[in-house]
Amino acid sequence: MRKWEDIPASEITDLALFLRRREFLRSAAAGAAGLLASACGSADPAVAAAPARGEPITGVRPGPAAFGTDEPPNRFADAASYNNFYEFGTDKSDPAKYAHSLRTKPWSVAIEGEVAKPGVVPLETLLAPHPLEERVYRLRCVEAWSMVVPWIGFPLGDLLARFEPTSKAKYVAFETLHDPEQMPGQRRRVLDWPYREALRMDEAMHPLTILAVGMYGHVLPNQNGAPLRLVVPWKYGFKSIKSIVRIRLRETQPPTSWNASAPREYGFLSNVNPEVDHPRWSQKKERRLGEFRRRPTLPFNGYAEHVAGLYAGIDLRKHF
């Protein structure tokens, strides 16, 4: 049997075709198929028209009702035009302008470290066993803006379990693609590239934590982290790393990009906390894209009932 890393790119199915083919096979067996309807929300006149959507993803089932929100999603134009993705520039509009240079096909992800079954896996092989779900999550960024997005993905914990973490696995580290030709923002020393993020193992295995491959019923746009990104809804947005090429399970706490660059401003945990201000601005209120009013910031971004227990006994003002 060939190893994952020995499979040539020519034999790897295109991601969008793979997602549609999987649903075709499922619907043929079941005799029915459903299309995920795109959601839309309030418009923001300050946000430019978004780029065209990518390939549709069909057959997506609803996520667990307990994790949902009844807040209306932002319109696609908000979420696809107003982004933090410094690999393509530091202005919020830069990713939508310049991310077309990112080549997402073929794509592989290395699973390394404290696992029994490491490997470099083509994305389609990585996704194959995992049914896709729509999960409408709030996303709160450290600059005090927020949005609500219908993500398409699956629990990170389900994927990690396939590779059999060892008893030494205490943290999960993630790494973004490093290729300044494709990601022109990496030519500037804004951060120490490649971009790195990490979670504690219990955070990574929590069912709220997902790997996303789409949003609004379609394959992720490049500027939103195509083809694979993390979504951790109770943490500030920079923890939800984009365009992942490496996942490494570790025994010790790994360095992360913003925490290493500015530790007084960006903690390792980075849970949304209105009681811990950024040194240069308050985190007590936020502005939802599409609105002009500011609303109170919710502890853990409104997910406290699900995740507050992970931090029992921890002073979250000190260990932010």
Residue percentage of the chain with pLDDT more than 90: 81
In order of 77, 114, 144, 213, 214, the CA distances from 225 in angstroms are 15, 26, 20, 8, 9
How many whole angstroms separate alpha carbon 258 and alpha carbon 265?
A: 8
Q: What is the structure's pLDDT at 68?
A: 86
Is 318 within a domain? Answer: no
CB 106 within 8 A of CB 9: yes
In one-letter notation, the amino acid at residue 115 is V
> Looking at residues 99-107, what average pLDDT do you find?
97
- Domain assignment of residue 213, given as a range: 4-311
pTM exceeds cut of 0.75: yes
Q: What is the DSSP string of 227-268?
A: T-EEE-TTBBGGGS--SEEEEEEESSPPP-HHHHH-TTT--S
Is 299 within a domain? Answer: yes
Is 189 within a domain? Answer: yes
Q: Which residues are CB-contacts of 161 (< 8 A; sequence separation ≥ 6)? A: none
Is 319 within a domain? Answer: no
CA-nearest of 53, 52, 51, 56 to 17 is 56
180: three-class secondary structure by DSSP: coil
CB atoms within 10 A of CB 101: 12
How many whole angstroms separate alpha carbon 61 and alpha carbon 72?
A: 19
pLDDT at 48 exceeding the cut of 70: no
Is 316 within a domain? Answer: no
52 confidence band (pLDDT: 50, 70, 90): confident
Residue percentage of the chain with pLDDT more than 70: 84
Is 137 within a domain? Answer: yes
Q: What is the DSSP string of 69-135?
A: --SPPPPHHHHHHS---GGG-SSTTHHHHHGGG---SS-EEEEEESBSS-EEEEHHHHHTT---EEE
Q: What is the structure's pLDDT at 1?
A: 45
Q: Is 7 or 181 the better-scoring residue by pLDDT?
A: 181
Q: What is the structure's pLDDT at 17?
A: 57
Minimum mean pLDDT range among 1-10, 178-187, 271-280 = 1-10
- CATH of residue 268's domain is 3.90.420.10
Half-sphere exposure of 75 (CA within 13 A, CB side): 16
Give me the chain's average pLDDT, please. 88
Q: How many domains does the chain have?
A: 1
CB 130 within 8 A of CB 178: no
> Looking at residues 283-303, what average pLDDT do you find?
96
21: three-class secondary structure by DSSP: helix
pLDDT at 226 exceeding the cut of 80: yes
Is 320 within a domain? Answer: no
Q: What is the pLDDT of residues 60-97, one digit of tens each?
A: 999 999 998 889 999 999 999 999 999 999 999 999 99
Strands 108-113 and 244-250: parallel
